[in-house]
Structure 1
């Protein structure tokens, strides 16, 4: 009897690069589930900088007046240490 449900593979195209959050490594083609990766990126170097890119984009978004409906909350790195 044929299986009713087939398991989806996570393989992607050669030349697409991802950064795996779970394993903290660059992957060619998605090796891990989408919930655990950032990308795709055009080069392994871009994928390696995925966390930095996401942080930069988040900061730009926080400062963009078109998206501001209230004052942005400070990032954890920006908070003053407790006295």
Structure 2
């Protein structure tokens, strides 16, 4: 008996963006490694790459992730 049941068909209304085919799909047609989602609407899935770029930019510029407080100015190794 399988520990996890493999889901072959998506639920109606679940939208994904396939990274391999570069298109929006209803239900998970492609493997999870090749898709973003699920999204509530087709429109949200269509903007998946834009959303990912915006989130990456937010992360890259978030001072909480790049905290330099308490660190010396120079990152040279000690002699």
TM > 0.5: yes
TM-score, L = length of structure 2: 0.74
C-alpha root-mean-square deviation of aligned residues, in Å? 1.9
2:71 match: none
In structure 2, which of residues 30, 33, 36 is the aligned counterpart of residue 35 of structure 1? Answer: 33
Give the aligned partner of residue 76 of structure 1: none
Alignment of 1:30-69 (within 5 A): 30-69=28-67
Per-residue displacement from partner, 1:24-64 (whole Å, max 9, x unpaired)? Answer: 11011110000000011111011000000000000001011
Q: Distance in 1 between matches of 2:67 and 2:35?
A: 29
Structure with the greater alpha carbon radius of gyration = 2
5+ long unaligned stretches in structure 1? 71-83
Q: How many residues align?
A: 65
